[in-house]
Structure 1
């Protein structure tokens, strides 16, 4: 019977990249789960709730920056361009640009959440009835795919929310390089990056008093149970946000409250009390550090906007496609 269980797990692991990532992550000395698994329908709804919390400054501050910068961004966007958004979610921030970009040929949002894409498309159809919306369901790190008639048009990339901070430095460099290659030479990318600041400001943004972020983090265990035949008991874990000073990032973890064993796809994983599952990174950048990261991936910084309190930054980058394999450590 055990051999049969192992065979089933092996087949699922071979055919499903997410299953392979989950099993590999839970087998590592520092257990981990991929952060994109946050965003099932429930997780997407919880994240939208997080963005409205007082403690969570990034959405509020970035929205204000975009509102101020949008006319300048629009003024440099050519007629008939395609706006490509990576990890679009609800597309709420995008409306700030869309209302100032009547010259667009289309808006192409990319997201892993089908419900988020469907809801955003329906809402945008009501607000911008003449706008062509071409959503893509999937990982925004995959090669960019556009309909043939849009693939020949100039492109403006949009990557708000400091999602770039969810990646390690090598991963972020690789992702930005693939964006440059996919958008093409001469394309521009408008990207949000959270700025390095005191942990007394950072930690509450990822561990709010109402417990919404905790629910968001713990919801991943419910998804693992549902999609990977697991038996996590979420009451045996708690949410924790911590600042990793050496890496310049906030980390989210799920902390085991007791010694326990959990089955995932028929395989057993042991936890000691206090052991954690690392679920997300959120890197914070200095201005110099982010510009160096962008340059190492083939982008030239053109314009930067920062709020008066110095909490958040929005950058306009221009693509210069090249070989992105090289590059050393990026300072934050």
Structure 2
């Protein structure tokens, strides 16, 4: 899971019902059934994910937040005066506040997100709390490179990508994002990256399959959304949530498992499930420190400093353009 909705689309354009149907049919008629992760995050899915972030099993949010608060002044000391902070997939900009509090010498904040409403709400709140900060939102797909607003011209650029959102990309896509971020920020920039590190499955699996069943409801909401928006006839009780650690791929996976043989209708098509067949809905890659360093280097970044939390290893990396 991710703290930023993984929507990779054209600037400011949300997926239409036609897009949703096309993507759903393509995934559900594939030899191994899948549904795109981005469709987990409708209004109800986003509400459920906010609940997940507060669960005792879900360590990433509280672990990274505590680490950021601990090292905020160290990060601030590495930021040049008059700098601009560029946050990729900013959402509500919650974690950004620790950095802004510690670095009053930041003069411009550019949050990049595809949600105009999320940007407007976050910008209004930040302008009230940081009146000396220029908040200049950019509505865009944060995974692509973009020209920054004019307010960022002539200033040192610092990128910010917390939340271990990079784990929701495949390693290839993660490398592409890091290259795009470098293209956006420029050759003399720095980049602050949050990465969830691989750890014992006994810790990771419950984070994606909590005892209260909130993550199960989050996953099953995707089928409910197909019913609500596209007229499908999934019986939710006929599917179960499953979270597994795929050691070979170093990733947590979420699946929906068919409890029986059944046929579901969607967009005029019959989709047949065998008992035990799964729909793969999300990946969350967990890196070793060495693996993320190699990935960053290939994208043109060099790790200057790193901080790792204890007891649940989560890394915040300060990188510069190599």
Q: Which TM-score tier does this pair reach, normalised by the shorter chain?
A: 0.7 to 0.9
2:214 aligns to what? 212
Per the TM alignment, residue 240 of structure 1 is displaced from its structure 2 partner at its CA by: 1.0
Corresponding position: 1:271 with 2:273: yes
Per the TM alignment, residue 115 of structure 1 is displaced from its structure 2 partner at its CA by: 4.8
Per the TM alignment, residue 131 of structure 1 is displaced from its structure 2 partner at its CA by: 2.8
1:149 aligns to what? 151
**Aligned 8 A contact 1:41 1:113 in 2:** no
| SS of corresponding position for 1:78 | coil
Per the TM alignment, residue 317 of structure 1 is displaced from its structure 2 partner at its CA by: 1.2
Of 202, 205, 220 in structure 1, the residue corresponding to residue 204 of structure 2 is: 202
Per the TM alignment, residue 81 of structure 1 is displaced from its structure 2 partner at its CA by: 2.3
- Structure 2 Cα separation of the partners of residues 154 and 265 of structure 1: 50
2:306 aligns to what? 304
Structure 1 gap segments, 5+ residues each: 1-12, 321-332
Corresponding position: 1:260 with 2:262: yes
**Aligned 8 A contact 2:241 2:257 in 1:** yes
Of 217, 241, 263 in structure 2, the residue corresponding to residue 239 of structure 1 is: 241
- Structure 2 Cα separation of the partners of residues 62 and 19 of structure 1: 36
- State which drifts further: 58-67 or 109-118: 109-118
Structure 2 gap segments, 5+ residues each: 1-14
Aligned length: 308
- Structure 2 Cα separation of the partners of residues 239 and 151 of structure 1: 48
| SS of corresponding position for 1:192 | strand
> Residues 123-182 of structure 1, C-alpha deviation per residue, up to 9 Å, x if partnerless?
323322333323344532133343233255332111111111111111111111111112
- Structure 2 Cα separation of the partners of residues 38 and 113 of structure 1: 15
> Residues 19-68 of structure 1, C-alpha deviation per residue, up to 9 Å, x if partnerless?
54333222222211221222222222222221111111111111111112
Q: If the length of structure 1 is used for normalisation, what is the TM-score? A: 0.84
- Structure 2 Cα separation of the partners of residues 258 and 114 of structure 1: 42
Judged with a 3 Å threshold, the aligned counterparts in structure 2 of structure 1 residues 87 and 234 are, in CA distance, closer, same or farther, namely farther
RMSD: 2.4
